[in-house]
Amino acid sequence: MDSDVILVIVIATALAFDFTNGFHDTANAVATSVSTRAMAPRTAVALAAVLNFIGAFISLEVAATIANGIVEADAITETIVFAGLIEAIAWNLITWYFGLPSSSSHALIGGVAGAAFVAAGPDAVLGDGLIEKVFIPALVAPLLAFATAAMAILLTYRIVGRLRPGPVNRGYRVGQIVSGSLFSLAHGTNDAQKTMGIIALALVAHGDLAAGADPLVLGDPLRGDRDRARDLLRRLADHPDDGQPDHQDGSGAGLQRAGRRRGRDPRREPPRVPAVDDAHDLRRDHGRGRGAPALRRAVGSRGQHRARVGAHRPRRGDDRAAAWGISRIFGEGALGAVIVSLCVVRPRRRRARAPPSAWARDHRRA
């Protein structure tokens, strides 16, 4: 029980660290866009927040490094994680107060490594991992960025330096929005996952996660959802659309029903789509029994689950292929699914209420 309370405190502290990290680092991504008036401050912060959020779900590399590559997970206790987090929060607040641009990542890693060093001895700190994944990048990144930016600005001045300032300023404002957005996305893939790694360490210390296990299991529920979504999109895209009304319901259930009616070889039927087929089976097995009207409302009169996006209205096969194709443009990660979802999910139109018929008016009066 006490251990559970400590775990909750550690996770709450980790989230508090993420909060300080947000107001500390988000400004870095959008500072140039705001200072050059490419974007309004609120718009810039909102954009950075959304892209950081998306970035957190795209990759899990940094979480793995924090959980497995810096300290020995076996030697870590919740108290060590808590001490590291408190140090990182304090550092973030102090540097924010004095307006110092500092790295939250290095503060966090230093805090956890220092606490582990004192509490569990030098063997608890993975020196190789610290050097390869923390010290070397910390040294190389500023120097490499300095040299690259110097070359880039020389190249830019060489090309656009003698042009009229109007078009150049307008163009580079757009460029700042693009670069700021990409910076926020990349920042999300890095910084947002530090906390995920720290929570993984706390779970190892609590005994909920095996030491040395892949910390990516924290992201497994999401990965499962996005994999299922991708499989569904792929299956819908693979189904041929022969133009029959039953085949245009966008869910694959019509295809299967048509296949059963025509006595096709079951081995040649399209692959099973779990949510749709489960709904169909539910209705087939229980639809005529008790509570059938409620079940019909939930499942739908055509054996489809109404909650599934797009399943309640006709949709052509090329739409499905386009959705899958667009999602594939952005790779096999979550980004494609997120973008397609944002395009597909829209507010439901309020259906105009038809005026009551003469028969209904007469009955109401009666």
Q: List residues near other proteins by CB under 8 A.
A: 55, 58-61, 127-128, 131-132, 136, 140, 144, 147-149, 151-152, 155-156, 159-160, 163-164, 167-168, 171-172, 175, 178, 182, 185-186, 189, 216, 329-336
Structure tokens at 344: 């597909």
CB of 75 to other proteins, least distance (A): 19
CB of 5 to other proteins, least distance (A): 33
Phi, psi of 37 (to 5 degrees): 60, 25
Alpha carbon distance 257, 242 (integer Å): 14
Q: Where are the alpha helices (DSSP H) in the chain?
A: 2-35, 41-58, 61-64, 78-97, 104-120, 127-130, 136-160, 165-206, 220-238, 253-261, 274-286, 292-299, 317-329, 334-344, 358-365
Q: How far is CA 155 from CA 64, 343, 349, in A?
A: 38, 38, 51
CB of 33 to other proteins, least distance (A): 15
CB nearer to other proteins: pick between 221 and 355:
221
CB nearer to other proteins: pick between 134 and 273:
134
CB nearer to other proteins: pick between 33 and 304:
33
Residue 125 is given by DSSP the state B
Kindly tell me the burial class for residue 85, based on how many C-beta atoms sit within 10 Å of its own C-beta (0-12, 13-18, 19 or more): buried
CB nearer to other proteins: pick between 143 and 366:
143
